[in-house]
Structure 1
Amino acid sequence: MTTVKEREKIQQQFQERMNEDELLNCMRCGFCLPTCPTYIESGFQESHSPRGRIALMKAVVDGLIEPDEDVERSLNMCLGCRACEPVCPSGVRYGHLLEEARDIIAQNKKHPLFVRIIRKMVFNGLFPHQNRMRMLTALLGFYQRSGLQSLVRRLGILNILPKHLATMEKVLPNVPTWKEMNDRPQHLAPEGTKKRRVAFFTGCLMDTMFMETNDATMKLLQLAGCEIVIPPGQTCCGALHGHSGEKNDAKELAKRNIEAFEQLNVDYIITNAGGCGAFLIEYDHLLKDDPHWAERAKAFTAKIKDISAILVEMEFHKKGLSLPEQIVTYQDSCHLRNVMKTAHEPRLLLQSIEGVEFREMKDADRCCGSAGIYNIVQPDMSMQILDYKMEQVKKTKATTIVTANPGCLLQMKLGIEREGLSEHVRAVHIVDFLLEAVKASQQQTNNQIQKKTG
């Protein structure tokens, strides 16, 4: 609940900070409506559409309405998937408007003490500090490996949690040990002829909870002929901060990352998480008003490339890989598709594998409902969106769901559990799937050699 004084301050900040030209660019044409999951799943409520939210922002700027709880609720209900942007004939940068509005509200509203403590712990105390991320992951590892997890499940302790959170505990990956997380490479040579020199953005969650996927990414880059530099000074990309009303913290993280990468003399900076990549590639917008950092941010963003894009550029899809026969479908990472404009490359890589029957699911480009921490803070809408997604998955009869973002991966695993499909269907990150194909192909070659020499 905001006070009158807080609402007045928020309104003033809207008038000072919101890009009115961008707000006016919206022609109210409605092209965005069919692409917006919350508009569709809310029963076509205008306030839960991009067009409706822009109208609310403009009304606050013009003083026609107060920035009350209804306005905040509408903005918070948005997934931030940015599916509205590619279809907008005016090219409205809706995502930038949303981030600015959320930041204004978050910075000028006094949250309850408990919320303030949680936000401080997460945004300031955890994600910017990789050692703390490793420590938290190591505790999770202890929980998984010590027998505590089995005990907790057997006693039904998880039943006190909301059902979707209890299910989410089941789909968490088996995490690495403390030693494994601290023994990370800083430089890797290519396998074979060197074709590119790249830097790898490891991320915070990706290099702890999803470290196996990071290792698979680096292995694929080596096989493609890339020399890899992994700067130790890099940090969290800042996406969670930027999307949650902590824009100043996001800017500080951006500066740390630019400093870590800018002197490396590399062709590209490679990412393997759609959400991270999309935020990194917009550092130039984030820092556009800072004269000391604006040009440095532009140079940084010009080198950002997703792992699937560089693999296709290096003709990895022509390696003749194979796997046991299976039906595969692909769930787009919203930010990878809508911000990084990378949708063709993952599909090309999957379709190039012999034994894979690729089936495009209906609305593969529609958000799965993960959206950072959306499935925690907006569970009802998130699960409603996920249920629709799983209906489309089942229609493909796929046994493997491939995606390209950790949040999407966990959400699809959650959907599999909710539908009782875990015996027949799996979800996997695209780099892990590609490495499976590499290993299977190598084993097949070895078997053929043994037969000939046997």
Structure 2
Amino acid sequence: MASTAGKPAIEHTNPLARTLLAKLDYDQLTNCMRCGFCLPACPTFSETGMEPASPRGRITMMKAAVDGLMVPDQQFQDQMHQCLGCRACEPACPADVKYGQLIEQTKEAIEEHTTHSLPIKVIRKTVFKTLFPKRGSLKLLGGSMAFYQKSGLQKVARATGVMKLLPKQLSEMEAILPPASSKGVIERIGTFYPAKGEAIAKVAMFRGCIMDVMFADTNVNTVELLSAAGFDVYIPESQVCCGALHAHSGEMKDARGLAAINIDTFKQLDVDYIVSNAGGCGALLVEYDHLMQEDEKYRESAKWFASRVIDVSTLVVEKGRIPKFEQKESSLQTEKIKVTYQDSCHLRNVMKGSNAPRTLMKQIVNAEYVEMVESDRCCGSAGIYNVVQPEMAGSILEHKMEHANNTQASYMLTSNPGCLLQMKLGIEKHKPEQPMKAMHIVDFLHDRMVVSK
């Protein structure tokens, strides 16, 4: 809820400035002490060295627009859109400024005053209102992509050079997409999967939208890992997209609508935990209480929901019976397999879940965990950032791959599908001397899980 305390009594002539005044939490704007602790944590500031490209700079511009000291022109809007939303600035902030909330409020205001071209309108309507909110549309997308990949059309498209007609960033991403499917986790294993042994707790899995189309195997592996760790797993069929991409794109009304459906769906199960295997999804799910705080109907239920959201690695480490993991490949080699990890920004900075994945990786027999320099810095994926801001995303990825290559690791693990695709892209472009494979940590652990007979 945007605080009205201390807001300037200004009659703005600029429409966007009026909306910013109405939406922005003025307490959070004034909480920023301009100390600069956020500067080294910010990827866009590190890339540009420009004050407006930092959290402090963006907050200064927000407040100046609200106070009537500047007009929120196109340069203002461009700087807001250049923000990755990684929220690395929040753990670094001694004043606990909720920057993530401020940038989402700002993007919502900007979107209300943006006139898109007809093609962009069609794309946004298709993505935000037809594709992500509806399971049927996602299944159709998954089936269509699977046909494209398996029928030979993909090979023909690449051989004939058709892919070169796409923007470079899209053709590069197409080259590293995993096998798609119209059959998600529920179609494969049902809506309930019992714990191995005595059940520790009753959990519900959040399956995601694209996650259940492009990474359905990971969802299945997540359920089986949770079961092995001692959890009864429920997968409610009526759940929908978390709304993260909507929120990051200024479509807050749609994000709240999706949140309401998910809250109703999961509350009916009365579970102990709601498990996410995607840092980007989990970060919004755990903040449903903030998202819905102005909705009297859902305010309390949203608090119930948010208090139960937890990442799969954190749940297994802190509450479960950790299965035994063994790196079988190393039996044929003289050295241990080296494994490194790229943090999901939202898992680390919002869900505070950076330790558990590392704990699990260090438990694998015959595998050596190597900490990557700046593993906590964003890889440049950030939802669809690498598509809409390809230049900045590409520059960030170049620096990331320098550190990745220096680890000499055979496996690059991460905990978010967007990060996984971005790291696959980086590996494909750099082709490191030490062959490296990018995997979701759940898939890596599942492949090495020792199943008791």
User: Please, which of 214, 237, 245 is the counterpart of residue 242 of structure 2?
Assistant: 237
The within-5 A match list for 1:433-448 is 433-438=444-449, 441-442=450-451
Which residue is 1:22 aligned to?
Answer: 28
Q: Deviations over 1:97-136 (max 9, x none)?
A: 0000000110122222221111111111110001101101
Per the alignment, residue 337 of structure 1 pairs with 348
Q: Is the 8 A contact 1:47 1:74 kept in 2?
A: yes
2:46 is aligned to 40
Q: What is the 5 A alignment of 1:169-318?
A: 169-178=174-183, 182-183=187-188, 185-317=190-322
The structure-2 alpha-carbon separation of the partners of 1:289 and 1:178, relative to structure 1 and needing over 3 Å to count, comes to closer
Tell me the SS of whatever aligns to 2:366. Answer: strand
2:413 to 378, 402, 409: 402
Q: 2: CA distance between counterparts of 1:112 and 1:29? A: 40
RMSD: 1.7
Structure 1 residue 422, shift from structure 2 partner: 9.4
Matched, 1:391 2:396: no
Q: What displacement does 1:321 show?
A: 3.4
Percent identity between matched residues is: 47
Corresponding letter in the other structure for 2:200: K
Shift of 1:158: 1.2
- 1:45-194 counterparts in 2 under 5 A? 45-178=50-183, 182-183=187-188, 185-194=190-199
- The Cα offsets for residues 114-164 of structure 1, whole Å up to 9 and x where unpaired, read as 211111111111100011011011100000000111111111211223333
* SS, match of residue 57 in structure 2: helix
1:181 touches 1:208 (CA, 8 Å); kept in 2?
no
Alignment length (residue pairs): 436
The one-letter code matched in structure 1 to 2:60 is A
C-alpha deviation, 1:48, in angstroms: 0.5
Letter in 2 for 1:430: I
Structure 1 gap ranges (5+): 1-5, 447-454
Distance across 2 between alignment mates of 1:422 and 1:145: 30
**Residue 103 of structure 2 aligns to which amino acid in structure 1?**
L
SS in 2 for 1:391: helix
- Cα separation, partners in 2 of 1:229 and 1:290, compared to 1, 3 Å: same
Offset of 1:397 from its aligned partner? 0.6
Q: Find the residue that maps to 1:39 and give its secondary structure.
A: helix
State the Cα deviation string for residues 186-224 of structure 1 (Å, max 9, x = none). Answer: 111112221111111111111111100000000001111
- Would the alpha carbon gap of residues 145 and 182 (structure 1) be closer, same or farther in structure 2, given more than 3 Å must change? same
Q: Greater CA deviation, 276-285 or 193-202?
A: 193-202
- Kindly provide the amino acid, as one letter, of the partner of residue 201 in structure 2: R
Q: Deviations over 1:298-349 (max 9, x none)?
A: 0010100100011102454463534323111000000000000000000000
C-alpha separation in 1, matches of 2:109 and 2:422: 29
Aligned to 1:351: 362
Runs of 4+ in 1 over 3 A off after TM superposition: 177-184, 314-318, 320-323
Q: Say if 1:12 and 1:300 are closer, same or farther in 2 by CA, change over 3 A.
A: same
Amino acid corresponding to residue 89 of structure 2 in structure 1: C
**CA distance in structure 1 between the partners assigned to 2:186 and 2:231 by the alignment:** 23
Cα distance, 1:176 vs structure 2: 2.4
| Alpha-carbon distance between aligned partners in 2 of 1:179 and 1:255, rounded to the nearest angstrom | 22
Q: What's the offset of the Cα at 1:185?
A: 1.2
- Report the counterpart of residue 378 of structure 1 in structure 2: 389
Residues of 2 paired with 1:92 and 1:38: CA distance? 18
Gaps of 5+ in 2: 1-11, 331-336
Q: Deviations over 1:279-298 (max 9, x none)?
A: 00000001111111111100
